[in-house]
Amino acid sequence: MAEIDLSAVFDAMPVGCAVLTNDLRYVTVNRAYERLAGQPRERLLGRHFYEMFPGGPGGHGISDVRASLERVAAEGETEVMPLLRYDVERADRPGDYEERYWSVRNAPLFDSAGRVIALIHRAEEVTAYIKQLHQGHPSGEPAAARVEAVEAELFARARELQDVNQRLHQAQEDERRANAAMRDALRRQQQAVADTSHDLRGPLTGLQTRLQLALTDPEADSQEVLHAALHDADRLGEIVTDLLELARLEAGAPVQTETVDLARLVEDELAGREPDVAVATRLERGLLVRGSAIRLARLLDNLVSNAERHAGSRVEVRLSCTDGHAVLEVLDDGPGIPPGEREAVFRRFYRRPDARSREPEGTGLGLAIARQIAGAHDGTLHIADRTSGTCMVVRLPLSPG
C-alpha cells in the first residue's frame, strides 16, 4: 500500500478545519476553511481567532464559540455545538458583515502524556439551508416557527452526538489505562521471574555440586555433604516461602481478620526474640487496628530483623497515634540508607552491600513483604529522614471500635 500524505488529506477535506494553539492562535487551516473564512491561510496563520472573527457589530454567536474553545483547552473534552450564527466581514467591503450560520465542533489534540497541546476547530456552513427555511412554505406554517423547530432538533441531535463522543472518549481512556496497567503488570512479572531465577540459581547450584561430589568422590564425607545439602535446601525453602507469601499478598487473597492490639502484638513478638543488640520500646497503649495478626507480626518481625542486621548497638520500637492512624516506627543506630536507595530497598531481592556482608543468607524479600502487608491493611511503609541510622515508619488506620 502506497504511503499516504496526511497533510494532503487534511488540506483536501471538504469540511473546514483549523488547528489552534491553546491560546486560540491559528497554526494551520485547510483549503475549505480558507473558503469559509474568506481569507487566505497566510493572513490567518499566527493570528488570534478573536481577531479574525469578531462576530460583527452584534457579536452574534462568537462568544459561544470562544467559550467552547476555552473549555476544550481547559478540560480536554470534545464539544459539538448547536446550530449558531456568527457573521463574517466581507473581504471586499471592510466593516460590512454578512449573515452566516454554522455547525461547529471543537476537539482537543493531546501529546503522549495526555496534555492538551492544540485544538481542532471544525466549522461547516449551513447558511443556505437556514435562509431557505426563512422563505415561504406551501404549508402556510410561519417561517419563524419552522426555523425554531429545526434549530431545536439540530440542538438535540448535536447534544446526542456530543454525549456519544464523550462516551467514546471515556472508553478510549479506559482502554488506554487498562493497556498501560497490563503492560506494567507484565513488566513486573518479567522482572520478578528474572530476579527469582537469579536468587534461586545460587542454592540450586550448590545443592547440585554437593550431590555430584557425593556420587563421584568415594572419599567424600557423606555427613558433611548431607549437612551442606540440607543447608542449601533450607535456603531454597525460605526463598520459596517468601515468594509464595508475596504472591498471596499481591493477589489480594482473603485472610481472616480481627481487631489487633498493636502494643500487645509488639510485646509478644519481641518477647520471643534473642537479639544480638539491645531492643528498647516506647509504646502508646490502646491502639487497635483491623487486620491479620499473623501478617502484622510478620511485618514487625521483618522490620526488626532488618534493623538488627544494620544496628551498631541499639534498636528501638515506637508506637504512637497521629491523625487517626497508628504509627509504628522501628529505628536503628546503624549507618543509615542513602536517600537514593530508600525506595530500592523495598524491591524484591534488592540487598545493599552491607546487608549481604552481615547476613549472606538473607532472601532479600523481607522489606518487599513488609510493604505489601502494610498496603494490604490500607497502610503505608516508608523510610523517614534521619540524621543517623534508619527509621522505618508504618502507618495503619485505627479501627473504629
The pLDDT tens digits of the residues spanning 160-214 come to: 666 666 776 677 777 778 777 777 766 666 555 555 555 566 667 777 777 777 7
pLDDT in tens, 82-127: 777 777 667 677 777 777 777 888 999 998 888 999 999 998 887 7
Write b or e for each residue in 61-71: b if 16 or more Cβ atoms lie within 10 A of its Cβ, otherwise e: bbebbbebbee
Tell me the C-alpha distance between 394 and 52, whole Å: 60
* pTM of this structure: 0.46
Tell me the C-alpha distance between 339 and 141, whole Å: 79
pLDDT in the model for residue 209:
75
Tell me the C-alpha distance between 33 and 40, whole Å: 9
Give the burial class of 371: count Cβ atoms within 10 A of its Cβ; 0-12 exposed, 13-18 middle, 19 or more buried. Answer: buried
Of the listed ranges 62-66, 143-147, 246-250, 324-328, the least confidently predicted one is 143-147
> What is the largest distance, in Å, between two alpha-carbon atoms of the chain?
118
Domains of the chain: 6-135 (3.30.450.20), 138-253 (1.10.287.130), 258-397 (3.30.565.10)
More confident residue, 311 or 128: 311
Tell me the C-alpha distance between 298 and 319, whole Å: 16
Task: Please provide the average confidence, as pLDDT, over all residues in the chain.
Answer: 79
Tell me the C-alpha distance between 68 and 76, whole Å: 11
- What's the whole-number mean pLDDT along residues 362-389? 87
Determine how many CB atoms are found less than 10 A away from the CB of residue 351. Answer: 19
Determine how many CB atoms are found less than 10 A away from the CB of residue 196. Answer: 17
In the structure grid, which three cell numbers stand for residue 166, read together? Answer: 464523550
Q: How much of the chain exceeds pLDDT 70, in percent? A: 74
In the structure grid, which three cell numbers stand for residue 148, read together? Answer: 425554531
pLDDT in the model for residue 283:
94
Question: CA nearest 298: which of 241, 214, 221?
Answer: 241
Q: Where are the alpha helices (DSSP H) in 252-345?
A: 262-271, 293-310
In the structure grid, which three cell numbers stand for residue 35, read together? Answer: 473558503
